[in-house]
């Protein structure tokens, strides 16, 4: 099993959840908050609504972040107080559509503006966290960094085409992570990466497309969270310092 930093009883054991307003992240934060082995859950998001029921607020700290590079660097500076205590990082950011754009059905729908926007959220922002977390994770003995990707980012698995920006940005994310994992392994042996596909999950991201999915294939965020945590805890990860896995624990071709 991936070790965590709680070798001594009562030692601090910290999880960091970035993109904390994602529906999957909210469920994850609840689970982590109820897990006694974690002493603090650091959550990071663009803004927080007090309406989101946490139920464990004494263990959860919040950072507002606009995800500009300077803001990410600044928060990572502050996170250095947790050096040697962080066993889990989850990066949950992702965008598929918004009020201005929908995923492209055909090549004529591709625009530079949408490509930039989707690559920014899905690939660039997660990569900046990986960059600035490096000194924060420097002392970690067994930290797992889970980044939410998507099966659709698999180049080999691309049979249907379409969804250029989302597909391309997740493929770019995967390559950035694989490249970072090689460098991390060279210099920070204690940190490993899980590139995770949650399956189609009932969140705002998938909302417009849920009608195409049969009910038994549309997961609740709580189910996906349980799958992910079980996958991490049941020692099913190999010794590779990066893996691309689905919610069912099966490997996805890069
Ligand atoms: N739902 C699915 O069916 C599905 C399938 C495959 C993969 N995924 C992946 O799973 C992850 C979690 O998604 P979800 O389904 O939980 O979606 P969600 O509830 O819609 O959450 C969206 C997430 O993306 C972030 N985000 C949205 N717009 C952003 C922007 N302009 N700049 C920076 N961050 C932005 C949010 O950050 P804040 O917390 O800061 O607001 C939040 O973390 C994503 O990476 C997604 O691609 C989801």
Enumerate the domain spans of the chain.
14-246
Task: Name the residue of 16, 18, 20, 22 to mutate for ligand 1: max ligand atoms within 8 A of Cβ.
Answer: 22
- DSSP run (H or E) holding 194: strand 191-197
Give pLDDT, residue 76. Answer: 98
Residue with the smallest CA separation from ligand 1 atom 19 is 22
CB 246 within 8 A of CB 252: yes
* Closest atom, ligand 1, to C-alpha of 170: 47
Give pLDDT, residue 9. Answer: 45
Residue with the smallest CA separation from ligand 1 atom 40 is 45
Q: What is the DSSP letter of 251?
A: B
Residues of the chain with pLDDT under 50: 1-10
- Beta strands per DSSP E along 19-162: 40-45, 60-64, 86-91, 143-148
Give pLDDT, residue 49. Answer: 78
CB 194 within 8 A of CB 237: yes
CA distance 175 to 124: 12
Task: Name the residue of 17, 29, 54, 92 to mutate for ligand 1: max ligand atoms within 8 A of Cβ.
Answer: 92
CA distance 56 to 103: 37
Go through the chain and tell me how many residues it has.
254
Residue 236's SS3 state is coil
* Closest atom, ligand 1, to C-alpha of 166: 47
Give pLDDT, residue 139. Answer: 78
Among residues 112, 139, 130, 161, the alpha carbon closest in space to that of 242 is found at 130
CB 42 within 8 A of CB 16: yes
Give pLDDT, residue 90. Answer: 98
Give pLDDT, residue 56. Answer: 58
Homologous superfamily of 14-246 in CATH?
NAD(P)-binding Rossmann-like Domain (3.40.50.720)
Residue with the smallest CA separation from ligand 1 atom 31 is 121
* Closest atom, ligand 1, to C-alpha of 202: 1
Among residues 166, 171, 161, 173, the alpha carbon closest in space to that of 107 is found at 161
Task: Name the residue of 16, 19, 211 to mutate for ligand 1: max ligand atoms within 8 A of Cβ.
Answer: 19
Give pLDDT, residue 95. Answer: 98
Query: What is the pairing mode between strands 60-64 and 86-91?
Result: unpaired
Give pLDDT, residue 57. Answer: 66
Give pLDDT, residue 3. Answer: 42
Task: Name the residue of 30, 91, 93, 199 to mutate for ligand 1: max ligand atoms within 8 A of Cβ.
Answer: 93
**Sign of the CA dihedral 26, 86, 128, 249?**
negative
CB 198 within 8 A of CB 247: yes
Residue with the smallest CA separation from ligand 1 atom 47 is 94
Give pLDDT, residue 239. Answer: 76
Q: What is the DSSP letter of 121?
A: I
CB 156 within 8 A of CB 129: no
Q: Which two tokens stand for residue 176?
A: 């950035």
| Binding-site residues, ligand 1, Cβ < 6 A | 19-25, 45-46, 67, 92-95, 121, 125, 148, 150, 197-198, 200-201, 203-206
- Which residues on adjacent β-strands are paired with residue 62? 43
**CB atoms near residue 46 (< 10 Å):** 12
């Amino acid at each position: 099993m991936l070790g965590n930093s709680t070798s001594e009883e009562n030692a601090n054991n910290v999880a960091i959840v970035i993109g904390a307003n994602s529906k999957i992240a909210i469920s994850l934060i609840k689970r982590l908050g109820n897990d006694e082995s974690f002493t603090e859950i650091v959550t990071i998001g663009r803004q927080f609504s007090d309406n989101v029921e946490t139920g464990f607020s004494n263990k959860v700290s919040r950072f507002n972040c606009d995800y500009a590079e300077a803001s990410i660097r600044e928060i990572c500076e502050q996170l250095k107080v947790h050096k040697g205590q962080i066993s889990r990082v989850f990066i949950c950011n992702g965008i598929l559509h918004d009020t201005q754009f929908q995923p492209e059905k055909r090549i004529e729908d591709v625009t530079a503006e949408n490509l930039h926007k989707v690559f920014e959220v899905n690939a660039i922002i997660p990569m900046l966290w990986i960059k600035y977390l490096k000194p924060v994770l420097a002392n970690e003995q067994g930290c797992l960094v889970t980044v939410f990707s998507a099966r659709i980012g698999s180049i080999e698995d691309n049979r249907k085409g379409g969804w250029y920006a989302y597909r391309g940005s997740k493929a770019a994310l995967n390559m950035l992570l694989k490249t970072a994992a090689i460098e991390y392994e060279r210099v920070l042996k204690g940190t490993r990466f899980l590139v995770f596909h949650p399956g189609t999950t009932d969140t705002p991201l998938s909302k417009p497309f849920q009608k195409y999915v049969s009910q038994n294939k549309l997961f609740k965020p709580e189910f996906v969270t349980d799958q992910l945590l079980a996958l991490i805890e049941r020692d099913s990860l190999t010794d590779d310092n990066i893996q691309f896995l689905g919610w069912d624990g099966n490997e996805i071709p890069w």
